[in-house]
């Protein structure tokens, strides 16, 4: 499926920002150059029973070819979207690369999402197959995804890795064990250049707080990966440690495809503790760790001095990012809510660079990667500087929406200006010198929890559905490690006392994901509101502190 207009494709290729390479081309080039070098490996304990691996580029090629043949053989047609519901592991990389070779599109299904969130994503992206694990630690993910498939008519296949699979799932471990029995996938006959077809979907939130799919072609993904590696000064000897979802934008384009582009190595780790990530970095000889920006300062304190950091920063809200000193090489990967992956190398002082205004060029090149501008006025802050919506355009930015979600689905669609620039729904203010922007945030209220934006009004509405709640409002509690946790102020109904455990258990039963469940509950007689009915959230936090 090609979505980018032909005129833009020509412009991006002529500028040198886009090559004619697919992700598959990068595999073949690395396999030809360094067949015996480790391509992907697992570090530390993989949380899926029976799953742990290390593959050279030659072994990767063999497995990708055979698995792609199997996926095509069971009836998955080109442009079918496959949801990846796996932790970071080497076999997840094989699955994703095989899907791309078969002409499929991959999309992340984060492990912390509830079944309801996953069902919404299936409708928004048009997902037809899911790859999951038998279990991830105590989470019976295989059973969960089987239940999701039973609820969502659109899902045709549920594949799974790991031991102890429940009935009804297709065992990919058995397929991998007999990989040479499957003929390699035949070449996929497609219209136009293979590089212009969609490879990856990301998920973002629209200005009205609805989930939408963000499409990236092979050309987009390869350009993102090469820009990251150039900004980081990466070489063929680099080992990237990735403790992030393997199909997320930073985990896939910033991690796996970046390593493929340089012939380097990806080490996957299911990072639950700082010590575990540091141990995995030492075990694998990692030269760079790709991690959420909230973990940057803490990781810098436990990693060896020469290990670089690439910090995934959704940059959807204001606030100062922490300085990382010690001369450590740090690249910020700005995604503006998972709609791009703009790499920005920090200076020697370790301070994050400002959001650039205007064209952003590739490291060591005149090629423009993206252009950041503003559209219209949203409200007047003072007589000198006026907030406006941030828009993005250029080779690193998707320029058309994914086809609209199924009729009746609650999803949203990306918005674009008349000249084709992507509307982010984020408000910024231009600095007085005009060279950069200060981020204000989205039109809707959010909290960043472990790097994930959560809508506070949406959580308000969820809690208010509890039968023992007369009124409620959530509020963010600052947390130095994960950015924020969720607290909730509750006006209980008379005669129905409510505990935090009661509420979280009810929310879990209602399908609310773990990141969205509150960690503190404050009973209050009334929810303080503004004249227009908005919640005075700062007063809720102060009441908790008091």
Q: Which CATH number do you get for residue 504?
A: 3.30.300.30
**Residue 412 sits in the same domain as residue 454:** no
Q: What is the pLDDT of residue 103?
A: 95
Q: Residue 65 maps to which CATH number?
A: 3.40.50.12780
Do 266 and 156 lie in one domain? The reply is yes
Residues 338 and 405 in one domain: no
Asked if residue 369 belongs to a domain, the reply is no
| Residue 364 forms part of a structural domain | no
Look at residues 295, 330, 358 and tell me which one is the last residue of a structural domain.
358
pTM: 0.85
The pLDDT assigned to 377 comes to: 46
Task: Please provide residue 498's backbone torsions phi and psi, each rounded to the nearest 5 degrees.
Answer: -130, 125
Asked whether residue 260 falls in the same domain as residue 389, the answer is no
Structural domains in the chain (count):
3
In a domain, 108, yes or no: yes
Q: Assess whether 433 and 461 both reside in one domain.
A: no
The pLDDT value given to residue 378: 41
Same domain for 398 and 335: no
Domain final position from 398, 421, 442: 442
Instruction: Report yes or no on 363 lying in a domain.
Output: no
- 209 and 315: one domain? yes
For residue 148, give its domain range.
Answer: 6-358
283 and 186 in a single domain? The answer is yes
CA distances from 258 to 122, 125, 235, 480 (A): 27, 25, 10, 29
366 belongs to a structural domain: no
Domain boundary among 418, 442, 466: 442
- Give domain status of residue 224, yes or no: yes
Domain membership flag for residue 118: yes
Taking 3-state DSSP, the helix, strand and coil percentages for the chain, each rounded to the nearest 5, stand at 30, 25, 40
393 shares its domain with 524? no
Among 12, 530, 536, which residue's Cα sits nearest to residue 4? 12
1 falls within a domain: no
Position 29 scores a pLDDT of: 93
**Helix ranges restricted to H, 285-384:** 296-302
**Which residues of the chain fall short of a pLDDT of 50?**
377-384, 545-546
Are residues 279 and 407 located together in one domain of the fold? no
Q: Do residue 88 and residue 64 come from a single domain?
A: yes
Question: Do 435 and 288 belong together in one domain?
Answer: no
Handedness of CA 250, 252, 255, 260 (dihedral sign): negative
Name residues whose C-beta falls within 8 Å of residue 492's C-beta, 6 or more positions apart in sequence: 468, 469, 470, 498, 523
- Residue 410: its pLDDT value, please? 66
- Give the residues across from 216 on adjacent strands: 200
């Amino acid at each position: 499926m090609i979505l980018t207009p032909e005129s833009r494709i020509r412009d991006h290729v002529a500028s040198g920002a886009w090559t004619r390479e697919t992700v598959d081309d990068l595999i073949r080039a690395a396999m030809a150059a360094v067949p015996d070098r480790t391509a992907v490996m697992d570090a530390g304990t993989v949380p899926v029973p029976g799953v742990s691996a290390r593959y050279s580029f030659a072994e990767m090629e063999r497995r990708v070819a055979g698995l792609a043949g199997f996926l095509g053989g069971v009836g998955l047609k080109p442009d079918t979207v496959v949801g990846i519901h796996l932790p970071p592991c080497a076999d997840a990389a094989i699955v994703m690369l095989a899907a791309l070779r078969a002409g499929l599109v991959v999309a992340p299904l984060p492990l912390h999402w509830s079944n309801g969130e996953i069902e919404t994503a299936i409708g928004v992206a048009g997902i037809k197959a899911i790859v999951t694990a038998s279990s991830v630690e105590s989470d019976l993910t295989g059973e969960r995804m089987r239940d999701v498939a039973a609820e969502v008519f659109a899902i045709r296949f549920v594949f799974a890795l790991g031991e102890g699979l429940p009935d009804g799932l297709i065992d990919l471990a058995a397929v991998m064990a007999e990989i040479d029995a499957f003929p390699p996938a035949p070449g996929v006959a497609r219209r136009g250049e293979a590089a212009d077809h969609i490879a990856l979907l990301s998920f973002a939130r629209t200005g009205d707080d609805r989930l939408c799919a963000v499409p990236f072609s092979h050309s987009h993904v390869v350009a993102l990966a090469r820009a990251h590696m150039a900004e980081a000064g990466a070489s063929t000897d680099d080992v990237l440690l990735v403790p992030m979802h393997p199909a997320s934008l930073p985990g896939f384009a910033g991690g796996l495809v970046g390593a493929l582009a340089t012939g380097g190595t990806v080490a996957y780790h299911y990072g639950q503790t700082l010590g575990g990530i540091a141990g995995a970095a030492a075990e694998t000889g990692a030269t760079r760790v790709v991690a959420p920006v909230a973990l940057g300062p803490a990781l810098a304190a436990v990693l060896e001095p020469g290990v670089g950091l690439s910090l995934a920063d959704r940059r959807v809200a204001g606030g100062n990012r922490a300085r990382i000193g010690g001369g450590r090489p740090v690249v910020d990967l700005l995604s503006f809510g998972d709609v791009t992956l703009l790499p920005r190398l920090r200076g020697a002082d370790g301070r994050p660079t400002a959001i650039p205004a205007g064209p952003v060029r590739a490291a060591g090149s005149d090629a423009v990667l993206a252009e950041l501008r503003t559209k219209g006025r949203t409200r007047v802050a003072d007589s000198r500087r006026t907030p406006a919506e941030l828009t993005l355009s250029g080779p690193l930015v998707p320029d058309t929406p994914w086809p609209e979600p199924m009729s009746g689905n609650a999803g949203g669609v990306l918005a674009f200006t008349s000249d084709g620039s992507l509307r982010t729904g984020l408000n910024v203010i231009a600095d007085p010198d005009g060279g950069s922007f200060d981020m204000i945030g989205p039109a809707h209220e959010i909290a960043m929890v472990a790097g994930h934006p959560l809508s506070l009004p949406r959580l308000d509405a969820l809690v208010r559905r509890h039968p023992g709640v007369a009124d409620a409002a959530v509020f963010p509690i600052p947390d130095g490690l994960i950015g924020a946790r969720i607290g909730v102020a509750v006006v209980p109904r008379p005669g129905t006392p409510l505990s935090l455990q009661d509420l979280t258990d009810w929310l879990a039963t209602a399908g609310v994901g773990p990141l969205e469940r509150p960690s503190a509950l404050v009973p209050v007689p009334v929810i303080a509101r503004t004249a227009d009915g908005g919640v005075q959230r700062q007063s809720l936090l102060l009441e908790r502190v008091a």
